[in-house]
Structure formats: structure tokens, C-alpha cells
Structure 1
Amino acid sequence: MKKEWSRTDMAAFLTSLSQGKIPVEKREDMPKNILNPLLKKRKENIGFTMSNIVWLGNQLESTNYTESALKNWVKREIKGYIGAPQVGRKYSVQQVAMLFIVKDLKVLLDFETIRKVLSSVFNNPVDREDDIISPIKYYESYAILYEKLIHNGLLSEEQIKKEIVVFLEKEDGYSDVEKNKIFRALIVAILAVRTNYLKAWAKRYVTDQNGKE
């Protein structure tokens, strides 16, 4: 299947799932072995196996998810931020968002630096209430900001900063210190997403002998 989901599509999908809803327009994209169990679950019981997460992640543009890599991350590299599966043996929607965030950051940063970014806005994975911003909200925020910046043809450092400031001015419930932490984390994520696209773009020209897009 051709990858067609943008990060804003994925963010909207994850947000809907967290509310116990599955967007009708996405149902036809999903294989029955993933969709059918979700249709039978209450929102607090919606969970994903690692193979489900890999399938979902691979619907995104400019991505390549493997189960072995994700398993290594949750057991070692980001164990302290993802935690154990929270829906029986499955991962919660917030945990899925966290894995997608790490995947985006990984193209640009090493794990030591990724953990610094995560620790600036996320805390105990068992209790998401103590996070400065939830994984889904953070993922949604940088997805929306990136898409807006690209749509306007602007991705300079100053323009990124300006758009984030405007975005955060509309957000209530954060202290100035918290907004500063979110501000810095969003800059990193936006740059990482751009790197993902540039990397995928470059690979097309390496693998296509005729130089066609």
C-alpha cells in the first residue's frame, strides 16, 4: 500500500483513538486483524501490539519501521520513557505516540540526546498526568507546525521560532518555564521531521537509476 498518511493525519488518528473513536476515512486503510479488535474496545482498553505499531508507523510518509528496532528501544534505549505495555500486553495510544516521536528524532539525534529531549517534557510513563505535555499533544503540535511552515514555504530558524511562539501563545495551562521547555523540544522535532523528508528524498535519487521522482 502506498504511504499516504501525513503526520497531521496520524496525530488526528491517535487523538481520535484516545477518545475511543476510529475515523471512518481511515478504516478502509486498516487490515481487519488490526481494525476489528479496535472496534470492540472501550477507549481505555485500546492497545497495540508491536507488529500493529510497525504497520501503523509504516503508513507514514518518509518512514521505515521495523519490529526489531522498536523492541530494542522499549527494552533498552527508551525503557524509562515508554514503560511496560499498559493495556494488558499491548501498548497504549500514548505509548504509540511516544514511539513515533522517538522514530522522528532518531534520524537527527543519538539516543543520549533523544533522552534529554524526552526528559525535558515527559516524566513517569505510568502516570501521564505529570508530563508537561502529553506525547499525543506534542506529536500533534510539531506535526501541525511543520505542515504550516512547509505550506508557507518557510523553514528558517527564525520563522520556526516565530511560529512556535505564536502557537504557544494560544495554549493555556503552561507556565513560562514549561512553555520554554516545549518551545525547545518543538524546534528539535520540526528539524527532525524535515531531516526525515530530506533523507527519503535523497534516497529516491540514489535508488532510481533514471533520476525520476
Structure 2
Amino acid sequence: MESFRLTRIEMSCLLLSLAGNSDRKPLHILQDSWTKFHQEEIQKGTSLPAFLSTDIPPILQKIIKGRSVKGLSIGEIASLGRLIEYSTFSVTAIQNWVKRDFKEYLGSPREGKKYSVNQAVLLFMIDDLKAALDFESIRQLFRLLFLKPERDDDDLIEPAQLYNAYAGLFEEIKKDPKLDPCLSKESTEGIMKRLTHLTRTQREAVRNTILIAAISVQTCYFQSLARQYFNAALFLDF
């Protein structure tokens, strides 16, 4: 069956919508994502067979049915993470990050026995950043942004907003591979304008993190591409 795939900007929009921070409904975001890859089937009137051949994980089924998603289990976070292009999510990795490597930043589930959207976003960020940084470097970056891990009200920027910002920058890089992320203003200007309450140093910390994360995602892309070519080299050796 065909896998349901989401770009990071689509995932960030979905998460913002689930958290109630978007005018778009989660279902509409999923519909738009699926539609862009099935224009031919829609024009031919064969969209139903195409959708039936798409693998829809339980968490997406819940969203499609219009059910409220206030929190996410580790399994649901991993399931969503595997939908993201170029990602390498696993339940085991998430459990290690939650219980050991990033325990101070992730903490306990904040939505009953489930994790909040922002906690899920932190896990998605870790998966992106580890393509270019070691865990200690990621923790240092988190210290710059989230100050006291046990509190949310002192964060320089909400994790979901940060994820949306660097996902947008990566989309710019995809459209123009020659683009220098450091010179791109379009994806960062909007978020920076909303951070006027921060000091100049704090705003630079946010901007630099957006650049680091976007470049790390680009690294994920190249790693994924290299694995595809490697698998092709082995498979086609006949």
C-alpha cells in the first residue's frame, strides 16, 4: 500500500491546528497533502481506489473522523513522525529520549497520560537536529531557547512555532537548492516580528536555531537520498 507522507511544513501546520493555533482544520490539511500527489486520479474520477490503497495509520484515522486530539501517546508520536519525509523515527528512540537523553526538557506527559503537541514537536526537532548535532549540542541549543526546562512561560519561542518557522525555511531551500539559508528572510521575518519582547541576543538565538534546524533537515534529505542510491546499487546488481 502507498504510504501517507507529509512535508515538515504540512506536519507543522497539522500540529498547530491540533493545538488550536490555526484557522485551518486538521482534516483539510491532510486532504490538501494527499490531493497534491493524486491530481491525475482525481481528474479521472478514480480518487476512491487511490485513497483505499493508501495506508492510513490509526492516529490519522482519528483525525479524519473529527475526533479531538488533545494529547499524543509515544506510539502516536512515532506514527506521526514516520509520516514526515526523510525522517527516521522509532518508538525505541523516543522512549530513550523521553526517559534519559532529553528527560529534563520533555518531562512527564502533560495531557493526562499523553504528551502535548509541544512535547511532540520537541521530539520531531530532536530527530531533525541529530542529523547534524550530537545530543549534548542539542541540549545546549534547548537551554538557549527554553531556559528553565520545568517551565513553559519563559520559553523564547513556543516549540510548535519554531518548528513551523524552520520547516518553512527548508521549503524555500527545496525550491531553490542554491539559496543561502542565512540570506533568506521570507520564512524568518514573520516569526521574528512576533518576538519583539525578546532582547536582541535572544532574537538572534531564535534566528540561529531556525537556520541550524533547516540546514539539519537538508542533511536528513541528503542522508535519505544516499540510502536510496545505496539500496538501488545493491538491488540492481544482477
Q: Same fold (TM over 0.5)?
A: yes
Which digits, 9 at most, give the CA deviation of each residue in 1:80-109, with x for residues without a partner?
111111001100001111100000001111
How far, CA to CA, are the matches of 2:168 and 2:89 in structure 1? 22
2:169/2:187 contact within 8 Å kept = no
Which residue is 1:106 aligned to? 130
List gaps (5 residues or longer) in structure 1: none
1:17 aligns with 2:18: yes
3-state SS in 2 of match to 1:197: helix
Instruction: Give me the identity figure in percent.
Output: 28
**AA paired with 2:87?**
T
List gaps (5 residues or longer) in structure 2: 32-50
How many angstroms does 1:163 deviate by?
Answer: 1.4
Which residue is 1:84 aligned to? 108
How many angstroms does 1:190 deviate by?
Answer: 1.3
1:20-59 pair list within 5 angstroms: 21-26=25-30, 30-32=56-58, 35-36=61-62, 39-41=66-68, 46-59=70-83
Say how many residue pairs are matched: 205
1:175 aligns with 2:199: yes
**AA paired with 1:189?**
A
1:1-213 pair list within 5 angstroms: 1-19=2-20, 21-26=25-30, 30-32=56-58, 35-36=61-62, 39-41=66-68, 46-155=70-179, 159-164=180-185, 167-168=188-189, 171-172=193-194, 173=196, 174-209=198-233
State TM-score, norm by structure 1: 0.85
1:120/1:185 contact within 8 Å kept = no
Question: C-alpha root-mean-square deviation of aligned residues, in Å?
Answer: 2.5
